[in-house]
Amino acid sequence: MHVLITGAAGMIGRKLTERLVRDGGLNGKPIDKLTLIDVAAPAAPVARGIRVTTAAADIAEPAETAKHVATRPDVIFHLASVVSGEAELDFNKGYRTNLLGMMGLLEAIRRVGDGYHPKVVFTSSIAVFGAPFPPSIPDDFHLTPLTSYGAQKAMCELLLADYARKGFLDGIGIRLPTICVRPGRPNKAASGFFSSIIREPLNGEEAELPVSESVRHTHASPRSAVGFLIHAAGLTREQVGPRICLTMPGTSCTVGEQIEALRRLAGEKVAARIRRKPDPLIQRMVDGWPQRLDASRARALGFKAEESFEEIIRAHIEDELGGRFAA
Amino acid sequence: MHVLITGAAGMIGRKLTERLVRDGGLNGKPIDKLTLIDVAAPAAPVARGIRVTTAAADIAEPAETAKHVATRPDVIFHLASVVSGEAELDFNKGYRTNLLGMMGLLEAIRRVGDGYHPKVVFTSSIAVFGAPFPPSIPDDFHLTPLTSYGAQKAMCELLLADYARKGFLDGIGIRLPTICVRPGRPNKAASGFFSSIIREPLNGEEAELPVSESVRHTHASPRSAVGFLIHAAGLTREQVGPRICLTMPGTSCTVGEQIEALRRLAGEKVAARIRRKPDPLIQRMVDGWPQRLDASRARALGFKAEESFEEIIRAHIEDELGGRFAA
């Protein structure tokens, strides 16, 4: 089994790589080859028995993508993406990476021909949906993104579905809720504060909250996100059916409830490290985002996420902080 | 007022040109310049007082499109498109013309800069919707196209909405129902038979019916289609609101009802010129198409279509046959 990961140097990409190396296999088959690409070459993991190739490749350059697709990976995790805040600020870059990148990847697959028919697992986003919303958003809610990032992800979903329908590949698009708590430093995602307000205080640092505490949103941990990807790769075409893009499950809570969970788990002193600093641009973007998602199709297909925000904080403390935090 | 029409040599493009030349203006302003482009140069109309430019331009070549956009037309009717049957058979050509063509046009507009902010009227299609359907399809039904053509049109809608949201242009996408009765020779649209079974018999010729008489579909005349385009160009941003892609009204009827209307209007002998010749590919495509559309938003905005299929046949006899047919 040969697995290719695009965007492998990103947070989810690194965690997926770790998990695949640890498991040593995917879909019940041993992994003998792992190709990791990103705009800068990802670090090669120590992986006994797996031939690892790491390479710098700009996903928006069709020839660079095609070179790696030509090695005929069985499963492709397409994670490479410019995040929401950056795609909104840099219109060109967002379309180049997110839309042209997907087009290049899919065309590269189609052009291999000769019976090549990989499984493509694409990370979409709940940003494909835009307000006004019903109380809980079903999988078949119409696509009316209110950001360029959401528009790009929605177009990628349509592309993936059409290439799958035409029989060029076996595809599944998983709409990730906001991944929280993201480890490491803040990125340019407009959703970054959802993680910062937990991560920084646990690390003894102050964090800025740019939106109101009444903001409701849906979250899943990085651990769950990797679980979604692995699970998606193992579903058959028959299980998924013709509508291949699915909203993933998550925990819906308000920012106030996030802070309350942090206070309960880590204490008042930690929670007090959150400073209110309203940012109208972020508030406006977030106001257009989904609050609750009906992921019943995904749940029925066996996708699993945390049941509470406390569980999400605990996953972060376990996976990233070795069980300790700055009280 | 300077008007640019892409796909101006196509059926709708020619009729729109005729109408604009006849009206001499658009949105209450006189037209002084008309630029008509298509893959082969369109015929120049006789148009007193209007400076007409006709040119061959491949919409999928960004430089060719950009040249015409650089002349800063106030209103752009983007009609250039590969039809559904052709987009399904020629995957490359469909994506090139329908998706890359739109991307090139929108980028050309954005790159003019300097306050340039045209009105873009884009002809989308009800093929953005795919079965299974509710009894009547609302504007906010989710986009699950079942053809490459439908996928391309849905992506174009998302692009147009994002460029409009970002303030690069003022856009409106009108989802045309099947245009019937198309004059002239059959094209490669899978929906072509809806017109052939009326047009050929009225012309004394036999026509082939590739699907069952129980197939229900929604139609509007070419005259109505031109009316939609003109009306769309005149709506303000405030009137349309943030959801700029709208399903146009039409007449919903079965193929059997179409034939019955022909029989009532033109007689048994004319209706008897329809030969049944089932085509499983066309039947399968048509089975995935909408049957009834709830175009209440468009109707509320003043878009008008025929109320019965007999009215559609009468429009054809008046506009194309000079009021006469082969009894």
What ranges do the domains of chain A cover?
2-176+222-247
**Neighbour tally for B24: CB within 10 Å:** 13
Q: How far apart are CA A217 and CA A211, in angstroms?
A: 12
Residue B91 near chain A (CB below 8 Å): yes
Peptide bond into B181 cis (omega under 30): yes
Q: Given this model, what pLDDT does residue B42 score?
A: 97
What is residue A200's DSSP assignment?
A: H
Q: Given this model, what pLDDT does residue A191 score?
A: 86
Q: Which residues of B touch A159 (CB under 8 A)?
A: 151, 155
Q: Say which CATH architecture domain A2-176+222-247 belongs to.
A: 3-Layer(aba) Sandwich (3.40)
User: Directed axis angle between helix B101-112 and helix B148-165, to 10°?
Assistant: 10
Per the structure block, which two tokens stand in for A148?
A: 């360029």
**Neighbour tally for A313: CB within 10 Å:** 24
Task: Give me the half-sphere count of Cα atoms (radius 13 Å) on the Cβ side of residue A17.
Answer: 30
Residue among B142, B144, B162 whose CB faces A151 most closely = B162
Long-range contacts of B47-51 (CB under 8 A, 24+ apart): B47/B21, B49/B24, B50/B21, B50/B24
pTM to 2 decimal places: 0.94
Q: How far apart are CA B172 and CA B219, in angstroms?
A: 20
For an interface test with B, the pick among A141, A158, A285 (most B C-beta atoms closer than 10 Å) comes out as A158
Q: How far apart are CA B13 and CA B18, in angstroms?
A: 9
Q: Which residues contact A116 (CB under 8 A, 6 or more apart)?
A: A72, A109
Residue B281 near chain A (CB below 8 Å): no
Q: Catalytic residue positions of B?
A: 149
- Helices assigned H by DSSP within A272-323: 280-287, 296-300, 309-321
Q: Which of residues 35-54 of B touch A (CB under 8 A)?
A: none
Q: How far apart are CA A231 and CA A80, in angstroms?
A: 19
| Contact between chains at B162 and A148 (C-beta distance less than 8 A) | yes
Picking from A37, A44, A115, the residue whose alpha carbon sits closest to that of residue A76 is A37
Residue B124 near chain A (CB below 8 Å): no
Q: Given this model, what pLDDT does residue A92 score?
A: 97
Per-residue model confidence as pLDDT tens for chain B (327 residues):
999 999 999 999 999 999 999 999 999 999 999 999 999 999 999 998 999 999 999 999 999 999 999 999 999 999 999 998 899 999 999 999 999 999 999 999 999 999 999 999 999 999 999 888 888 999 889 888 999 999 999 999 999 999 999 999 999 999 999 999 999 887 777 889 999 999 999 999 999 999 999 999 999 999 999 999 999 999 999 999 989 999 999 999 999 999 999 999 999 999 999 999 999 988 988 888 888 999 999 999 999 999 999 999 999 999 999 999 988
What is residue A173's DSSP assignment?
A: E
Q: Which residues of B touch A140 (CB under 8 A)?
A: 142, 144
Residue A281 near chain B (CB below 8 Å): no
Picking from B13, B9, B148, the residue whose alpha carbon sits closest to that of residue B87 is B148
Q: Which residues of B touch A155 (CB under 8 A)?
A: 155, 158-159
Residue B155 near chain A (CB below 8 Å): yes
CATH superfamily label, B2-177+221-247: NAD(P)-binding Rossmann-like Domain (3.40.50.720)
Picking from A269, A275, A264, the residue whose alpha carbon sits closest to that of residue A311 is A264
Picking from B178, B182, B181, B201, the residue whose alpha carbon sits closest to that of residue B191 is B178
Picking from B292, B8, B245, B294, the residue whose alpha carbon sits closest to that of residue B128 is B245
Q: Which residues of A touch B159 (CB under 8 A)?
A: 151, 155
A27-64 per-residue burial string, b: 16 or more CB within 10 A, e: under 16: eeeebebbbbbbbeebeebebeebebebeebbbbebeb
Q: How far apart are CA B44 and CA B54, in angstroms?
A: 6
Nearest Cα of chain A lies from the Cα of B148 at a distance, in angstroms, of: 6
Residue among A110, A140, A158 whose CB faces B151 most closely = A158
What backbone torsions phi and psi does residue B85 show, to the nearest 5 degrees? -65, -40
Q: Which residues of A touch B140 (CB under 8 A)?
A: 142, 144
- CB B296, CB B228: distance < 8 Å: no
Q: What is the ipTM of this complex?
A: 0.93
Nearest Cα of chain B lies from the Cα of A107 at a distance, in angstroms, of: 10
Residues of chain A with pLDDT under 50: none
| Contact between chains at B151 and A159 (C-beta distance less than 8 A) | yes
Q: Which residues of A touch B148 (CB under 8 A)?
A: 162, 166
Residue B154 near chain A (CB below 8 Å): yes
Q: Given this model, what pLDDT does residue A251 score?
A: 96
CA distances from B245 to A59, A265, B131, B174, B207 (A): 31, 47, 19, 6, 34
